[in-house]
Amino acid sequence: MNDFYYTPNPDVVHKIQQWDFELLGNKIAFTTDNGVFSKKRVDYGSIVLMNAFNISKIPSGKILDLGCGYGPVGIALAKKYTDREFDLVDVNNRALSLAQTNAKNNGVDNRLTIYNSNIYENVQSKYAAIVVNPPIRAGKMVVNTMLSKAKNHLVPSGTLTAVLQKKQGAPSAKKLMKSTFGNCEIIKKDKGYYILESIYNGDK
Ligand X SMILES: C[S@@+](CC[C@H](N)C(=O)[O-])C[C@H]1O[C@@H](n2cnc3c(N)ncnc32)[C@H](O)[C@@H]1O
Q: Of 60 and 124, which CB lies nearer to ligand X in the complex structure?
A: 124
Residue 190 lies near ligand X (rule: CB under 6 A): no
Residue 133 lies near ligand X (rule: CB under 6 A): yes
Separation of alpha carbons 130 and 86, rounded Å? 10
One residue of 78, 95, 173, 196 binding ligand X per CB under 6 A: 95
Q: Identify whether the C-beta of residue 58 lies closer than 8 Å to the C-beta of residue 158.
A: yes
One residue of 37, 86, 127, 200 binding ligand X per CB under 6 A: 37
Computed on alpha carbons and rounded to an integer, the radius of gyration of the chain in Å comes to 16
Specify the DSSP element, H or E, that contains 179. Answer: helix 170-181
When CB distances to ligand X are compared, the closest residue is 67
One residue of 23, 48, 87, 90 binding ligand X per CB under 6 A: 90
How are beta strands 86-90 and 63-66 bridged, if at all?
Answer: parallel
Interface with ligand X (CB under 6 A), residue total 22
Residue 129 lies near ligand X (rule: CB under 6 A): no
Q: Identify whether the C-beta of residue 176 lies closer than 8 Å to the C-beta of residue 147.
A: yes
DSSP string, 76-117: HHHHH-TT--EEEEES-HHHHHHHHHHHHHTT-GGGEEEEE-
- Using CB under 6 A as the criterion, what x/- string covers residues 52-71 for binding ligand X? ---------------xxx--
Residue 197 lies near ligand X (rule: CB under 6 A): no
Closest distance to ligand X from the beta carbon of 149 (Å): 11
Burial 83-97 (b: 16+ CB within 10 A, else e): ebbbbbbbbbebbbe
Closest distance to ligand X from the beta carbon of 7 (Å): 8
Binding site for ligand X (CB under 6 A): 5-6, 37-38, 43, 46, 67-69, 72-73, 90-92, 95, 117-119, 133, 135, 138, 142
